[in-house]
Amino acid sequence: MNFKTKLLIITLLPTILIAITSTIIIDLQAKRLIESQAKAIEDLYLAQKERELLNYVAIAENALEPSYKSYLKTTRKAQREAREIVRKMSFGEDNYFYIYDGAGTNIVNPRHTHFIGSNWIGIRDENGRTVVKDLIEHAKMDDGFYSYKWKKPSSGAYVDKLGYSVYLPKWDWILGTGIYLDDVSDQIQAVQSQTEIRIGETRLVILLLALGSLLLTAAILTFARISEQRFADEKLKKLTARIVDVQEEERKRVAHELHDGISQLLVSARYGLEAAMSKAKGKDVQQPLEKSIDTIDNTINEVRRISMALRPSVLDDMGLVSAVKSLSSEFSTQTGIEVVVNANQPKKQITDEARIAAYRVIQEALTNIARHAGADKVTISLKREKSRFVLKLEDNGVGILQHTQWPPKHAGLGIRNMQERIDAIGGTLKFENARPTGLIIKIGIPIDKKLANIDEQE
């Protein structure tokens, strides 16, 4: 064996070993990555489902509160009203609310009506768990979350379900609901499949590069080996960064929709209930309570809409200005703050995405005014300026004098959401002090040229 052959073997051997080792390491790292990613996504989705259940049950409790705490009705009448309220409440295609008494007799179950009136304390799921008994025990211990197997109405299959129940001691009732978790498994499987595909592509690229390096080793061995290593490192970095981005985007989406949809309406409901409680000793308690119940009903409808389309129907039905007027009227009723809207409908000149973004920003701004501004009047106007519409909201509250810059560096989720929504449509969002007091929020909404041309032709 001559020197050149020995040199070739010596130079090829590290490349071959690197290729084999890289493949093994990638396989091991890929397995760990997939497992850790699946666990992180599962924890994220379960945490999301738990927050949803807490919100849904809180909505149901608020809906029952007038009947449950009433001292003007008989217990029988109050319970009958409560049963009717819960029977009509649902979200999504398969999800519903149920009521059991402390002994396990079903009182309300809109999806499985044959359960009503019978005692199910001993019913067991496929794993032998006493579902109703355990739900009652968890609710009474103030630890309402409970996982079990249950029949899904739409498919008829028994799947994993996460339930949450609360105990109503006055009536010895268990109020609860649940969410089927088969979609969580589907989401995890989809993400795992995509990750495996990307890792397989990366592995293939590395192997091809290693093969090319072997063929060119005689001339450019050192350079090829360094290039291969750098390329592999870069691909792995990009893959890792992409996985992190996907997780962060999903968290941001969930945070946006929960905060902008459910939170705003629940805050409105809370203001109504607070107004009612402040008048509880007088004779004017009925109207605020009824208004609060209506707001909670709107919340239920909004939750249902978010689960179906993540889109506020009032914008589709009436347009931006009408939606803002409706929102302002509701806001005035709940908070006592006067809202004046001076605007005409901008027809078809702005996109649906821009309308939704502007509506959500106004919704968030009104909530912040009620919480922090100390204002008693708000003025909202909309006018066209060249290639955009300017939506302006002005209050007579405390303004932003306490801040050296706006938005503050450590602004809350609401302000960040406002900015991100406007940025997403290519608009502008400005905050400035009003004179003599108050805050002005200016929202620049770009005009869609295609829609504007269609509107002019019509």
Query: Considering the domain boundaries, does residue 394 fall inside one?
Result: yes
Q: Which of 180, 213, 231 is the last residue of a domain?
A: 180
pTM of the full predicted structure? 0.38
Query: Considering the domain boundaries, does residue 329 fall inside one?
Result: yes
* Domains in the chain, number: 2
Query: Considering the domain boundaries, does residue 297 fall inside one?
Result: no
DSSP 131-159: HHHHHHHHHHTT--EEEEEEE-TTT--EE
* Residue pLDDT, tens place only, 3-58: 556 655 676 677 677 777 777 777 777 777 777 777 787 788 888 888 888 999 99
> Is the pLDDT reported for residue 240 higher than 50?
no
Query: How far apart, in whole angstroms, are the C-alpha atoms of residue 417 and residue 422?
Result: 9
Query: Considering the domain boundaries, does residue 368 fall inside one?
Result: yes
Confidence band, pLDDT 50/70/90 cuts, at residue 223 = low
Query: Considering the domain boundaries, does residue 427 fall inside one?
Result: yes
> Is the pLDDT reported for residue 248 higher than 50?
no
Confidence band, pLDDT 50/70/90 cuts, at residue 168 = very high
Comparing 297 with 106, the larger pLDDT belongs to 106
Residue 245: the pLDDT is: 38
Query: How far apart, in whole angstroms, are the C-alpha atoms of residue 90 and residue 307?
Result: 12
Residue 20: the pLDDT is: 76
Q: Scan for tokens 């629940």, then name that residue.
A: 266
Three-class secondary structure assignment of 428-454 = EEEEEECCCCCEEEEEEEECCHHHHHH
Q: List residues bridging with 358 in a β-sheet.
A: none
Query: How far apart, in whole angstroms, are the C-alpha atoms of residue 90 and residue 147?
Result: 20
Least reliable range by pLDDT among 12-16, 104-108, 159-163, 268-272? 268-272
Query: Considering the domain boundaries, does residue 29 fall inside one?
Result: no
Query: Considering the domain boundaries, does residue 288 fall inside one?
Result: no
> Is the pLDDT reported for residue 396 higher than 50?
yes
Q: Scan for tokens 């300017």, then name that residue.
A: 390
Query: Considering the domain boundaries, does residue 253 fall inside one?
Result: no
User: The domain spanning residue 79 has which CATH number?
Assistant: 3.30.450.20
Residue 25: the pLDDT is: 78
Residue range(s) defining the domain that contains residue 165: 70-180
User: The domain spanning residue 399 has which CATH number?
Assistant: 3.30.565.10
Nearest to 85 by CA among 167, 170, 175: 175
Query: How far apart, in whole angstroms, are the C-alpha atoms of residue 312 and residue 302?
Result: 7
Query: How far apart, in whole angstroms, are the C-alpha atoms of residue 303 and residue 164?
Result: 17
Q: Which of 117, 152, 180 is the last residue of a domain?
A: 180
> Is the pLDDT reported for residue 367 higher than 90?
no
Angle at 7 between CA 4 and CA 12, to 5 degrees: 125
> Is the pLDDT reported for residue 206 higher than 90?
no
DSSP 176-215: EEEEE-HHHHHHHHHHHHHHHHHHHHHHHHHHHHHHHHHH
Contact 448, 345 (CB under 8 A): no
Q: Which of 157, 180, 203 is the last residue of a domain?
A: 180
Query: How far apart, in whole angstroms, are the C-alpha atoms of residue 321 and residue 56?
Result: 30
